[in-house]
Structures are given as C-alpha cells and as structure tokens.
Amino acid sequence: MSGAILRLDDVHTDIAQYHILHGISMNVPEGGVHVLLGRNGAGKTTTLRTVMGLWRARKGAVVFRHHDITAMPTPDIARLGIAYVPENMGIFGGLTVEENMRLASTSGRFDDDRLGRVFALFPAMEKFWTKQAFALSGGQKQMLAISRAIIERRELILIDEPTKGLAPAIIRNMITAFREIAEETTILLVEQNFLFARSLGRGVAVIDDGRIVHSGGMAELAGDEALQTRLLSLSLAEHQ
Ligand SMILES: Nc1ncnc2c1ncn2[C@@H]1O[C@H](COP(=O)(O)OP(=O)(O)OP(=O)(O)O)[C@@H](O)[C@H]1O
C-alpha cells in the first residue's frame, strides 16, 4: 500500500517451541494513531517485539519505509527512527527523570525546544526532573516512558497498552498528549481499552490467536455495533 510507513507481510514468529504469530499481514499508514486491538494473549506484544527485532520472524517480512528490517539488529532499527514503549515501560527506577531521559537521547544531550515541548505535554516531568523514577505515580511513570520516546523526533512510536491501570483523568490527559504527538509522528498503539483506542485511532487492526481477524478504519468499527460485538465482545467487554 502506498503511504505505509510500516508493513508486515505474512509474519510468523515463534517463542521457544511455540508458534505465536501465524502470518500477520498489516499496513500502518503514515501519520496519526493506528491501533492494534485484541484480547490477552492474542499476540499484540509479540507483534511489536517482532517489529523491534526483539523476537525474530521465522518467516515473512517487516518493512519500515523502504528498509527490510526483518533481520536487522534492534539498535539499528531504533536508529532508523522507531521507538518502543513496552508494557512494563522500560524506565530505570533508580535513576532520576532527567537521567532516564538523557539515556533515551542518542546524543546524550537535550534540544531545548524539544524538552520544552515534552514539559508542556507532561508538566510532571519538569516538576519531578530530579526525582528518582521509582517514586513517581503509575501515570507519571507512563508519561516518563512516553517522554523518553519523544525526546528526539521519531518516525514511528510503538506503544504497548499505555492506559493499563491508569485512572480516567490520567487517560484523558494521555488522549490529549497522544493527539499532539501524532501530529509529527506515526503511532502504532496496542490497546485493550476500546474507548481510549476509539478516541485516537484512525485505523484499526484486530488480532486474535496470532492472526489479523479484521482491519479497517476506526470510524467504521466504532459505528458498527454488530461488528464490535463480533470482534471485541469476548476480548474487550470488561474494558468498555
Ligand atoms: N516468553 C514467552 N514464553 C512463552 N510464551 C510466551 C512468551 N511471551 C508470550 N508468550 C505467549 O505468546 C502468546 C502471545 O502473547 P503476547 O504477549 O504477544 O499477547 P498480548 O496480545 O500482548 O497479550 P497481553 O494483552 O496479555 O499483553 C500468549 O499465548 C503468550 O502466553
């Protein structure tokens, strides 16, 4: 598809002796937020980790712009401009907010304008700049994880379930922040919270048992209750 920033083509991934992804094909168009929805254990995290080269596709291809990244080492994939915010957030609790952000910057230095934008999006980062990350609240830790991903301009950010365990007021802040971030960067968002996903997503793919069972526009899914029930009721009902 023209305009795709990321393409997965018949991707099969094994974890140890288990065949987890059974031929994932997916196009992520450039710009905006695109959502990968699915129940627990459906293969969402495995898909993101396969894109980052943290698991290896046994078959199929992962293509970022014109680069075949299927077998590329993870640091090289990151240098192409892809950031990954894992579900456990990947922050260092014993380091300060500043140190966490410095480690995420490839030059180890901050661009003042960018840092100002991060502080505008997430004021808690400025407030707790010298505080150790373990002392932050759950929502602030998630903000730090996202701040690390945007401290330099990225082409694509992969974010795994950022709303998990967060209060509704924090989730509303996240929606505002993600809308701003998506003005300059494509976001591939893994979610189980359909309301959050619906308020952000332009496109959506639904994964089940390591297979894409639906893909299309978010507006189409949001407006079709029968389709939602068929695709999402088993997996997502408790989150709606
Ligand atoms: N390290 C591992 N060893 C063995 N099996 C694994 C491992 N990691 C994941 N799996 C299995 O792979 C399948 C897909 O897991 P994955 O984490 O990708 O699902 P998910 O859709 O992200 O679910 P969740 O919402 O629970 O994070 C599950 O059946 C899971 O048990």
Question: Using one digit for the tens of pLDDT, what is the confidence trace for 99-146?
Answer: 999 999 888 788 899 999 999 999 999 999 999 999 999 999 999 999
Residue of 46, 87, 194, 238 to mutate, ligand 1, most atoms within 8 A of C-beta: 46
Residues of each domain in the chain carrying CATH 3.40.50.300: 4-81+154-239
What is the fold, at CATH topology level, of the domain defined by 4-81+154-239?
Rossmann fold (3.40.50)
Count of helices and strands (H, E) across the chain: 10, 10
Separation between Cα atoms, residue 134 and residue 25, nearest integer Å: 38
Instruction: Output DSSP code: residue 38.
Output: -
> Is the separation of the CB atoms in 146 and 167 below 8 Å?
no
Residue carrying structure tokens 């991060």: 118
pTM, entire model: 0.92
Question: Using one digit for the tens of pLDDT, what is the confidence trace for 71-106?
Answer: 999 999 999 999 999 988 888 999 999 999 999 988
Binding site membership of 17 for ligand 1 (Cβ less than 6 Å) = no
How far is CA 10 from each of CA 22, 59, 73, rounded to the nearest angstrom? 8, 7, 20
Instruction: Return the pLDDT at 237.
Output: 43
Q: What is the mean pLDDT of the chain?
A: 91
The pLDDT confidence band at residue 53, using thresholds 50, 70 and 90, is very high
Instruction: Give the residue whose CA is nearest to atom 26 of ligand 1.
Output: 40
Instruction: Return the pLDDT at 90.
Output: 85
What atom in ligand 1 is closest to the CA of residue 43?
18
Question: Using one digit for the tens of pLDDT, what is the confidence trace for 74-83?
Answer: 999 999 999 9
